[in-house]
Amino acid sequence: MIIPENDRLIIGAENIERRWSENHQHQLTENARAEILAFPIIAEEVSELLRWASRYNVPVTPRGAGTNLTGSTVPLYGGLVIDLSRMNHILCLDEDTMTLSVEPGVLLEDVQDYVSQRGYFYPPDPGEKKSTIGGNIATNAGGMRAVRYGVTRDYVRKLQVVFADGTISELGSSTIKDASGLSLKESLIGSEGTLGIITRADLKILNSPEFSRSVLLAFSDLEQAGKNVLEILSSSLNPTAIEFMNRTVVQLGEQFLNFAYPFETAGSYLLLTFDGSENVVREQLDLLKDLAEENGAIGLEVLDDPKRAARIWQVRGALCTAVEATSMQEPIDIVVPIDKICRFVRFVEDLEKRSQLQMVSFGHAGDGNIHLCIVRGQLDEDEWEEKLALVLQTLYDEAYACGGLASGEHGIGLQKRKYFLAHSDPSVIALMNGIKNAFDPAHILNKGKSYVIEQERNIYA
Amino acid sequence: MIIPENDRLIIGAENIERRWSENHQHQLTENARAEILAFPIIAEEVSELLRWASRYNVPVTPRGAGTNLTGSTVPLYGGLVIDLSRMNHILCLDEDTMTLSVEPGVLLEDVQDYVSQRGYFYPPDPGEKKSTIGGNIATNAGGMRAVRYGVTRDYVRKLQVVFADGTISELGSSTIKDASGLSLKESLIGSEGTLGIITRADLKILNSPEFSRSVLLAFSDLEQAGKNVLEILSSSLNPTAIEFMNRTVVQLGEQFLNFAYPFETAGSYLLLTFDGSENVVREQLDLLKDLAEENGAIGLEVLDDPKRAARIWQVRGALCTAVEATSMQEPIDIVVPIDKICRFVRFVEDLEKRSQLQMVSFGHAGDGNIHLCIVRGQLDEDEWEEKLALVLQTLYDEAYACGGLASGEHGIGLQKRKYFLAHSDPSVIALMNGIKNAFDPAHILNKGKSYVIEQERNIYA
């Protein structure tokens, strides 16, 4: 284990104690700075750190690659940050049971590369490929392929977890079915570091699809696009991805990458992918053509040229970056039932006009997960904070009015906590805290994040 | 709400109090007989019952159709049985979001019929079609189609639950993605009535597959069959079901139904189903033929004739009944990692010889879930109890040694509790009980079942 202290390295948890007196009173640190940063490399070291932190009631913030968008790895109460980025080994590929065992600090892109080189496929595909698998599990990350393949939760067979008191346990099993007691594994998935620290994950993998093809569909407006999404989802088509982008948003990406989409008179686009054997995919593309024609598509291009397909997807992928290149922005990942996407996107467009804050919305039409960047532009800090607070309140109110949720795949962290707590049933939040108390009675793990209510002080709530 | 009392009906929870004094001391009832049986018809009545039971610390046992195989609805401590069989309405089919809302007492077969008549498909397919959806969720029931479509857990979008104190809450959401706080819905699934009573479920449904075809494969022995299962699962084939049966077991079903399987020299059979468009299924069948030929299959029959297909499946479905027709039996549903099926079945065959107890094993080869009937035959009660206890101990030891679990889909209930607790990590069981304490601090719900450890007295442990 390596604990950098200024420019020295200190080995072993016993040395941490030198930096932490028993009388240390932790409190909300104004600058959210941790006193100690540790880089364990095995579960036993994580255990040693947590036993120590439990003994002295030291707040602990687990951290992967730090790519989260919600402030979930900010060490709000100071204390100890456990950085898992050096636990980054792929441990075992079991081809008989189609299971890949990894350490939590392995990057998503490394998992995807490793399995694809061997003819396999790890379906969860969040946009941030440099996020860690541990972080993906802690937030139940989703991504583009959720419409067909599901989310991270669906690919976790088994977890090794270190609990707050240092106990190392195995949750879940290598079996496919499980009706043996409560599933603690399911509680850990999406718990944002509040219940335990993941030190190994056994992931389910699939065979690589033989063939894959993307299609760009153009519509005169959002409603036409939205109607097609519902028709596609309730047809026998089985798309892997259905992304939607309005023309105004696509233009941002086009300018950023200097590449033009076809059908420039379109008001709205859908970008789809189909996976399978070539015959099946070709069959699906024919069905899609018929369906789109019947439903008023004004353009359809099958992206047979891989280079062109890559460019088209690049524009979709670059939308956030295109916005960030010009201004600070607030990222949001509200999710609504799939039949409420048009309503929500129209609401955003209307709010954009009313608030005069630029809002760039696009996202996963197939699963109702809308990515929205609220752009700061030229506003000074006070004005930005004030306008943003107002707009966020309005957006989350509308999301919940649609039967939606604050987060589809990023998690709650700090940033959405206020809105999440305000819109959640208090008795449900109390039960979540009941589970927290069972797993981490002293509340040392990721204090003040997500659903966790601290007795002594409510943070950001 | 209807509460039968002898041959009268009492309406309303206030009347229950007449039958329950405040000084009533509940204890383990020798004959496991409840004092009160209630048939609520709306969530508010379930809430009223639970508020009352909480006030007087009355043990509550929720009950669906009572088809469980684990004793999970036995009112071990007496008290109140809440029978949900009259909450049996299908509430709403939302075709836009492909969601079916049902009350908990709706039978699985009624859900399957309702959606299939409308061109939809509810994939979970436990053998017992007269079980309730509430019970399916409470045990995370699996079934034949899990290999392709997953289990009940994968089809629950949202639950309405009444907690022990009478609070009615909604868990989960109508969205497809969810990264918003701990998933209490996931905790409820598979909780066997220990955390709350489900009063409504929103289920995800799919489009009916256009075409479906079953295939019977014959092998000289179990190892050949097992090797083929692994090859099929790691190929591009995507079977809906893979059932295995040894010849000796098939013979029981053949005699019972007076219908003979082909390839009577086979040692072992696999029965598979493929779903999809006709082209895709035909393509898959061709691939299967090649693969089976390469891997030593001694017979293959595509079951194109629906009547013949139904008969072949009937034999598979009748195996338990065929056994029960001749003798009392103990049903087991151990699950092991898929690469350990042969090892486990061979172990059973060996144990059968050593113990001289007949054991009929068959099951879901695609997901490692082995159904095993231990047959009492002519043994008198003492001899049966003694032999059974010894054999069960040996079987569960071997299951866990294989990395398996006590139950794949039936749940733990009372019957597997001893073995489940003995093989589980005590700190994991303690956390399950921590969750129990958060949801039901007075332990009124399904006392003494599954993972629940009662402070005052350990039941069957």
Domain spans in chain B, listed from the N-terminal domain onward: 90-207, 211-319, 327-401
Chain B residues in contact with A170 by the CB 8 A cut-off are: 425, 428
Q: What is the mean pLDDT of residues A189-207?
A: 97
Task: Among A163, A177, A435, select the one facing B146 at the smallest CB separation.
Answer: A177
Q: Report the share of chain B in percent with pLDDT over 90.
A: 81
- Cα dihedral across residues A112, A116, A119, A124: positive or negative: positive
The answer to whether A53 and A72 have CB atoms below 8 angstroms apart is: no
Chain B residues in contact with A173 by the CB 8 A cut-off are: 337, 403-405
Amino acid B388: pLDDT: 96
Asked if B405 and A176 come within 8 Å (Cβ–Cβ), the reply is: no
Q: Does A429 touch chain B (CB under 8 A)?
A: yes
Q: Report the share of chain A in percent with pLDDT over 90.
A: 81
Is residue B275 pLDDT above 60, yes or no? Answer: yes
Is residue A287 pLDDT above 60, yes or no? Answer: yes
Q: What is the mean pLDDT of residues B248-261?
A: 93
Q: What is the mean pLDDT of residues B279-295?
A: 92
User: A327-410, which class in CATH?
Assistant: alpha beta
Q: Does A435 touch chain B (CB under 8 A)?
A: yes
Residue partners of A281: CB distance under 8 A and separation at least 6? A211, A212, A213, A274, A275
Amino acid B31: pLDDT: 60
Task: Among A184, A368, A425, select the one facing B175 at the smallest CB separation.
Answer: A368
Asked if B368 and A177 come within 8 Å (Cβ–Cβ), the reply is: yes
Strand arrangement, sheet containing B268-276: B299-302, B211-219, B268-276, B241-246, B358-364, B369-375, B329-332
Cα–Cα distances (Å) from A267 to A222, A254, A298, B188, in that order, read 7, 15, 10, 44
- Please tell me the distance in Å from B452's CA to the nearest CA on chain A: 9
Chain B residues in contact with A141 by the CB 8 A cut-off are: 179
Q: Report the share of chain A in percent with pLDDT over 70.
A: 92
A-interface mutation test, from B175, B185, B202, most A Cβ less than 10 A away: B175
Asked if A435 and B432 come within 8 Å (Cβ–Cβ), the reply is: no
Asked if B182 and A171 come within 8 Å (Cβ–Cβ), the reply is: no
CATH topology of domain A211-319: Alpha-Beta Plaits (3.30.70)
Q: Where residue A428 falls among pLDDT bands split at 50, 70, 90?
A: very high
Write down the mean pLDDT value for chain B: 91
More confident: B385 or B235: B385
Amino acid A31: pLDDT: 60
Cα–Cα distances (Å) from B104 to A163, B110, B190, B211, in that order, read 35, 12, 14, 30
As a dihedral over the C-alpha atoms of residue B439, residue B443, residue B448, residue B454, rounded to 10 degrees, the angle is: 110
Residue reference for tokens 């990057």: A107
Q: Does A426 touch chain B (CB under 8 A)?
A: no
Residue partners of B276: CB distance under 8 A and separation at least 6? A280, B209, B210, B211, B238, B284
User: Which one, of A279, A291, A283, A248, lies nearest residue A266 by Cα?
Assistant: A248
Q: How far apart are CA B62 and CA B137, in angstroms?
A: 13
Q: What is the mean pLDDT of residues A23-44?
A: 74
Of all residues in chain B, the one with the smallest CA distance to A165 is: B427
- Cα dihedral across residues A93, A99, A105, A107: positive or negative: positive
Task: Among A141, A186, A233, select the one facing B187 at the smallest CB separation.
Answer: A186
Q: Which ranges constitute the DSSP H helices of A7-164?
A: 43-55, 108-116, 133-138, 146-149
- Please tell me the distance in Å from A260's CA to the nearest CA on chain B: 31
- Please tell me the distance in Å from A207's CA to the nearest CA on chain B: 7
Asked if B179 and A428 come within 8 Å (Cβ–Cβ), the reply is: no
Q: Where residue B309 falls among pLDDT bands split at 50, 70, 90?
A: very high
Chain B residues in contact with A175 by the CB 8 A cut-off are: 335-337, 367-369, 403-405, 408
DSSP bridge partners of B243 = B271, B364
Region of A243 please: left (phi>0), alpha (psi -120 to 50) or beta.
beta
CATH topology of domain B327-401: Alpha-Beta Plaits (3.30.70)
Q: What is the mean pLDDT of residues B141-147?
A: 93
Is residue A130 pLDDT above 80, yes or no? Answer: yes
Q: How far apart are CA A431 and CA B435, in angstroms?
A: 9
Q: Is the ipTM of this complex over 0.90?
A: yes
Chain A residues in contact with B425 by the CB 8 A cut-off are: 169-170
> Hey, which residues 142-201 in chain B have their CB within 8 Å of chain A?
142, 146-147, 150-151, 154, 163, 167, 169-171, 173-184, 186-187, 189-191, 194-195
Q: Does B58 touch chain A (CB under 8 A)?
A: no
> At residue A156, what is the residue type?
V
Amino acid B22: pLDDT: 41
Q: What is the 3-state secondary structure (H, E, C) of chain B?
A: CEEEECCEEECCHHHHHHHCCCCCCCCCCCCCCCCEEEECCCHHHHHHHHHHHHHCCCCEEEECCCCCCCCCCCCCCCCEEEECCCCCCEEEEECCCCEEEECCCCEHHHHHHHHHCCCEECCCECCCCCCEHHHHHHCCCCECCHHHHCCHHHHEEEEEEECCCCCEEEEECCCCCCCCCCCHHHHHCCCCCCCCEEEEEEEECEECCCEEEEEEEEECCHHHHHHHHHHHHCCCCCCCEEEEEEHHHHHHHHHHHCCCCCCCCCCEEEEEEEEECHHHHHHHHHHHHHHHHHCCCCEEEECCCHHHHHHHHHHHHCHHHHHHHHCCEEEECCECCHHHHHHHHHHHHHHHHHHCCEEEEEEECCCCEEEEEEECCCCCHHHHHHHHHHHHHHHHHHHHHCCCECCCCCCCCCCCHHHHHHHCCHHHHHHHHHHHHHHCCCCCECCCCCCCCCCCCCCCC
Is residue A58 pLDDT above 90, yes or no? Answer: yes
A-interface mutation test, from B121, B177, B424, most A Cβ less than 10 A away: B177
User: B90-207, which class in CATH?
Assistant: alpha beta
The answer to whether A149 and A124 have CB atoms below 8 angstroms apart is: yes
DSSP bridge partners of B28 = none
Q: Express each pLDDT in A139-184 by its tens digit.
A: 999 999 999 999 999 999 999 999 999 999 999 999 999 999 999 9
User: Which one, of A280, A268, A278, A272, lies nearest residue A232 by Cα?
Assistant: A272
Amino acid B396: pLDDT: 98
Task: Among A234, A280, A412, select the one facing B180 at the smallest CB separation.
Answer: A412
The answer to whether B292 and B231 have CB atoms below 8 angstroms apart is: no
Chain B residues in contact with A98 by the CB 8 A cut-off are: 233-234
Amino acid B8: pLDDT: 38
Q: What is the mean pLDDT of residues B239-249?
A: 93
B-interface mutation test, from A99, A180, A195, A206, most B Cβ less than 10 A away: A180
Is residue A244 pLDDT above 90, yes or no? Answer: yes
Amino acid A28: pLDDT: 53
Amino acid A3: pLDDT: 55
Asked if A183 and B183 come within 8 Å (Cβ–Cβ), the reply is: no
Of all residues in chain B, the one with the smallest CA distance to A421 is: B181
Is residue B25 pLDDT above 80, yes or no? Answer: no
Of all residues in chain B, the one with the smallest CA distance to A366 is: B176
Q: Where residue A296 falls among pLDDT bands split at 50, 70, 90?
A: very high
Is residue A99 pLDDT above 90, yes or no? Answer: yes
Q: Does B344 touch chain A (CB under 8 A)?
A: no
As a dihedral over the C-alpha atoms of residue A47, residue A53, residue A54, residue A57, rounded to 10 degrees, the angle is: -170
Q: Where residue A456 falls among pLDDT bands split at 50, 70, 90?
A: low
Of all residues in chain A, the one with the smallest CA distance to B171 is: A428
The answer to whether B243 and B365 have CB atoms below 8 angstroms apart is: yes
Q: What is the mean pLDDT of residues A31-55?
A: 92
Residue reference for tokens 């494969």: B217
Amino acid A16: pLDDT: 55
As a dihedral over the C-alpha atoms of residue B18, residue B19, residue B20, residue B23, rounded to 10 degrees, the angle is: 80
Asked if B279 and A279 come within 8 Å (Cβ–Cβ), the reply is: yes
- In total, the C-beta contacts within 8 angstroms joining chain A to chain B are 269
> Hey, which residues 258-287 in chain A have their CB within 8 Å of chain B?
276-277, 279-280, 283
* Tokens linked to A127: 């946009």
Q: How far apart are CA B14 and CA A219, in angstroms?
A: 61
Q: Out of A139-148, A221-230, B8-17, which region has the weakest mean confidence (pLDDT)?
A: B8-17
Chain B residues in contact with A140 by the CB 8 A cut-off are: 178-179, 183
Of all residues in chain B, the one with the smallest CA distance to A188 is: B182
Task: Among B181, B230, B431, select the one facing A451 at the smallest CB separation.
Answer: B181
Amino acid A361: pLDDT: 87
- Please tell me the distance in Å from B28's CA to the nearest CA on chain A: 22
Of all residues in chain B, the one with the smallest CA distance to A438 is: B434
Is residue A29 pLDDT above 70, yes or no? Answer: no
Q: Does A450 touch chain B (CB under 8 A)?
A: yes
Q: What is the mean pLDDT of residues B330-354?
A: 94
Q: Express each pLDDT in B445-458 by its tens digit.
A: 999 999 999 875 44
Q: Express each pLDDT in A347-371 by its tens digit.
A: 999 999 999 999 988 889 999 999 9
Q: What is the mean pLDDT of residues B32-36?
A: 83
The answer to whether B55 and B21 have CB atoms below 8 angstroms apart is: no
Residue B273 CB neighbour total at 10 angstroms: 22
Q: How far apart are CA B124 and CA B89, in angstroms?
A: 19
Amino acid A153: pLDDT: 97
Asked if B183 and A175 come within 8 Å (Cβ–Cβ), the reply is: no
Residue reference for tokens 């921590």: B434
Is residue A27 pLDDT above 60, yes or no? Answer: no
- Please tell me the distance in Å from B93's CA to the nearest CA on chain A: 13
Residue B58 CB neighbour total at 10 angstroms: 23
Amino acid B3: pLDDT: 56
Chain A residues in contact with B369 by the CB 8 A cut-off are: 175-177
3-state secondary structure of A28: coil
Asked if A179 and B439 come within 8 Å (Cβ–Cβ), the reply is: no
Q: Does B140 touch chain A (CB under 8 A)?
A: yes
Q: What is the mean pLDDT of residues A396-408?
A: 97
Write down the mean pLDDT value for chain A: 91
Q: What is the mean pLDDT of residues A194-220?
A: 96
Amino acid B34: pLDDT: 86
Q: Out of A4-8, A67-71, B241-245, which region has the weakest mean confidence (pLDDT)?
A: A4-8
CATH topology match: B211-319 vs B327-401:
yes
